[in-house]
Chains A and B, each alone.
Chain A
Amino acid sequence: MKTLVINDDNSLTKLGVVIQNTPLSLPSTRVNSCMDKSVSLQDSLVSVKNLSFARGDKKIFDDISMEFERGKITAIMGPSGTGKTTMLKLIGGQLFPDHGTIQVDGQNVHCLRKNELYTLRKRMGMLFQSGALLTDMNVYDNVAFPLREHTHLPEPMIRTLVLMKLQAVGLRGASSLMPNELSGGMARRVALARAIALDPMMIMYDEPFTGQDPISKGALVHLIKSLNNTLGLTSIMVSHDVQETAAIADYIYVISSGKIVGQGTPQQIKDSSSEWVQQFMTGAADGPVHFHYPAKDYIDDLLSSGKRY
């Protein structure tokens, strides 16, 4: 994962140097990160560099870097509450990092203006954990929604496209159902059809397998893999379902406590000697991630006055 950083805009770089060397320059890290026009030579669609992010006092990410290669399925795994979904929101530009940069297709997401960000998002699909279907529309209208919002295609053509997308996820027959009539697995498949409606360059999956029965899981695993291959997508998948993720991912990052504790191909992850990775992959109750939430001594607590917390 070596990267060679080059500068593609001398004038901007010079300007950046001027700003950095001027004592009265703005203290904002964002000014400097937006001046950073470096690109990585390797074939990464998404590039996360030295990212730090905190919510209040809690550090979610502490200076981490990741690369997401074009055409591959890259998974981000880790225990609950480690900020996996937060990473997707940072990549999608819904959250701002405290430090570091995120580039998507060569564009620094957090330096874009709103209309530029929206233009970029049209090429980024996202599958939310809940599906996030619009509840006042049926399945057909949900899938047609991005097409109607962003294109001026005639209605017969939209119908053809919607039916094709629904056929791809096996739900053409459910086009007239309302979201409350769908099972969890079906809702996610509809959301997937909606996410690919505009033929994006990448899709971000937020916990696609959580709460699914084995059949739905199998269907989603198959869908994610086949869509990635047939549409030439780049997929970023956040999950803590070890078996399913390892079955389809090309590369896995395991994060915990704001750091990357392991990375590699699924086989490299399985063979990893890291205690963190092994605890996560084997599902051990105790290890570097403790079973018990930090508390005072158990015996002391039992023998104390019993004051209410």
Chain B
Amino acid sequence: MIELLQFLGKATRKSFKKLGRATFFLLEIISGIASVIPRPRLLLKQLYSVGVLSFLIIVISGIFVGMVLGLQGYYTLSDFGAEETLGVMVAASLVRELGPVVSALLFAGRAGSALTAEIGLMKATEQLSGMEMMAVDPIKRIISPRFLAGLISMPILSALFSAVGIIGGQLVGSGLLGVDEGAYWSQMQANIDFEGDIINGILKSLVFGFVASWIALFEGYDAIPTSEGVSRATTRTVVNSAFSILGLDFLLTALMFGDN
């Protein structure tokens, strides 16, 4: 029993220490963002590797998620003779929930793990240390541009995911199952609220982008500089990001859509 308490105490202390380190790291990242603004090429390069290279997985996943929603929605709604509201159902599901959440999970798996591995390996091969000795702050030069790129990419990827998903839903609903195309789009236009649905969805994806990028970069920077250490850090990035995104989604949903 004593051993269990000691173990729990040690684990808690370790977690708080790590949280403290992560918080200081975040403050450093944020203070380093100012130095990224005058060097747009640094940011553009990272926008390409973090955002553009995630484009394909987001588009393919989005279209399939939209198609599945169209199919499942049609089966359920047609029981009530309400298949013409399929567009609203698909769009609301995507814009409010699935778009931000699934794209953030995909982002954490694709771009987040790559960021952690990259930073961890830079640490293991003394590249970050080398930069420090060349009087180049690795936070400003390496970390902050990647963080900013994640923050900018995430809402765009999420919007893209939702847009492609809506088209996927329409392909299945109207193209295969015979839902009226005009009803699909007009019902959606009439019932999806720009501020309540779309803006809130974008806000969610901003928060997820912030958290996923922070976790990925911190895990890489804090990784034990060995191959095993980097491998563990990469795993932690995906797991911790997934937990954080799903947990935060609940909180944000409660805050944003509580009055509806």
Contacts and interface: CB of A to CB of B under 8 A. Distances in A.
Contacts of A121: 132-135
B141 A149 contact: yes
Interface string B109-149: 00000000000001001110111111111000100000000
B135 A150 contact: yes
Interface in B13-39: none
Nearest to B134: A146
A262 interface: no
A94 B132 contact: yes
B78 to A, nearest CB: 53
A194 B127 CA distance: 13
A94 B129 contact: yes
A135 B135 contact: no
Contact of A128 (B122, B126, B136, B137): B126
A210 interface: no
A7 B132 CA distance: 32
B137 A132 contact: no
A135 B130 CA distance: 12
A125 B141 CA distance: 19
A124 interface: yes
A122 B125 contact: no
A145 interface: yes
A132 B129 contact: yes
Contacts of A122: 134-135
Interface residues of B, number: 14
Nearest to A122: B135
B125 A135 contact: yes
B109 to A, nearest CB: 22
Contacts of A119: 135
Contacts of B133: 92, 94, 121, 124-126, 128
Nearest to B118: A136
Contacts of A134: 127, 130-131
A133 B132 CA distance: 13
B125 A130 contact: yes
A197 B129 CA distance: 17
Please report whether the interface of chain A is mostly helix, strand, loop or mixed according to DSSP: mixed
A146 to B, nearest CB: 5
A132 B136 contact: no
A185 to B, nearest CB: 17
Contact of A149 (B122, B126, B132, B134): B134
Contacts of A194: 134
Given A119-B135, A146-B136, A149-B141, A126 B130 contact: yes
Given A118-B137, A149-B141, A130 B132 contact: no
Interface in A125-158: 125-126, 128-130, 132-135, 145-146, 149-150
A149 B136 contact: yes
Nearest to B128: A132
B141 A132 contact: no
Contacts of B136: 145-146, 149-150
A191 B130 CA distance: 10
A153 to B, nearest CB: 16
B126 to A, nearest CB: 4
A128 B129 contact: yes
B157 to A, nearest CB: 23
B132 to A, nearest CB: 6
Interface string A60-100: 00000000000000000000000000000000101000000
B129 A118 contact: no
A48 B48 CA distance: 46
Contact of B126 (A92, A130, A146): A130
Contacts of A125: 133
21 contacts: A94-B129, A114-B137, A118-B135, A121-B133, A122-B134, A126-B130, A126-B133, A128-B133, A129-B126, A130-B125, A132-B126, A132-B127, A134-B127, A134-B131, A135-B125, A135-B127, A146-B135, A146-B136, A149-B134, A150-B135, A191-B130
Given A94-B133, A126-B130, A132-B126, 6 more contacts: A94-B129, A118-B135, A121-B134, A132-B129, A146-B135, A150-B136
Interface of A: 92, 94, 114, 118-119, 121-122, 124-126, 128-130, 132-135, 145-146, 149-150, 191, 194
Those 9 A-B pairs whose CB atoms lie nearest each other, nearest first: A132-B130, A121-B135, A132-B126, A118-B135, A126-B133, A122-B135, A128-B126, A146-B134, A149-B136
